[in-house]
Amino acid sequence: MIIVHHLENSRSQRILWLLEELGLAYEVRRYERNKTTMLAPAGLRRVHPLGKAPVIEDGDQMVAETGAIIEYLVEKADGRLGAPAHRADALRYRHFLHYAEGSLMPPLFTTLVLSRVPLFGKTAIKKFKPMVDVHLDYVEAELAQRPWFAGKELTAADVMMSFPLEAAVTRAGATQGRPHLAAWLEKVHARPAYQAALKAGGPYAYAG
């Protein structure tokens, strides 16, 4: 059985969702954040040197980094929810699988950091917001063309995109004036596998 080292309110929620969609058996080992610093607990360092989540164990195999875990699980499930057969869709799949953390998440994380800076944080966020809006407008335009990020069907690319877009709702007003992005999030949250993952992982601040 796959063991998921899951940190509350983190990227690891996506792994639980993907496991539910793929129907793979798993066990959750849940970690709570430090209430003062909001950082991961020291216990995660005993799992992996970086002390980050998600990390999965599958037999004697340990895999860290969300994207790497998603690719590992898709392969384990014989390619289900992986790259579509059509070349253009497959290219979009790979793009969004890497875009989620490579391009979209950094400005959102910067916004979070700035929100915790006293005095000048709010001013800095206002100046930084146009950079975030470029990404969110791009996502809106893509979802206006197709129901899911890679095409007509849900893929692991949608799973990968879920956390940054959920975080962007609270950090950057992502759904304001972006109906296609809002509709995509509603579809994601309504999926039975997503709801099952919420029950398995415990409280998750970005689901609503």
Q: Identify whether residues 113 and 178 lie together within a single domain.
A: yes
Q: The tokens of 172 are what? A: 């950057």
Report which residue type is found at 81: L
Q: Which residues contact 184 (CB under 8 A, 6 or more apart)?
A: 143, 147, 148, 158, 165
Q: Report the alpha-carbon distance of residue 28 to residue 53 in Å, rounded.
A: 12
Q: Identify whether residues 101 and 181 lie together within a single domain.
A: yes
**Structural domain for 9, as ranges:** 2-80+193-201
What is the per-residue pLDDT for 136? 97
Q: Identify whether residues 183 and 92 lie together within a single domain.
A: yes
- Residue 175 is part of a domain; what is its CATH number? 1.20.1050.10
* Distances, alpha carbon 29 to alpha carbons 95, 159, 177, in Å: 31, 20, 38
Domains: count for the chain: 2
Could you read off the pLDDT tens digit of each residue along the chain, which spans 208 residues?
Answer: 999 999 988 999 999 999 999 999 999 999 988 777 777 878 899 999 998 999 999 999 999 999 999 999 999 999 999 999 999 999 999 999 999 999 999 988 887 766 666 666 677 777 778 899 999 999 999 999 999 999 999 999 999 999 999 999 988 899 999 999 999 999 999 999 999 999 999 988 887 6
- Residue 74 is part of a domain; what is its CATH number? 3.40.30.10
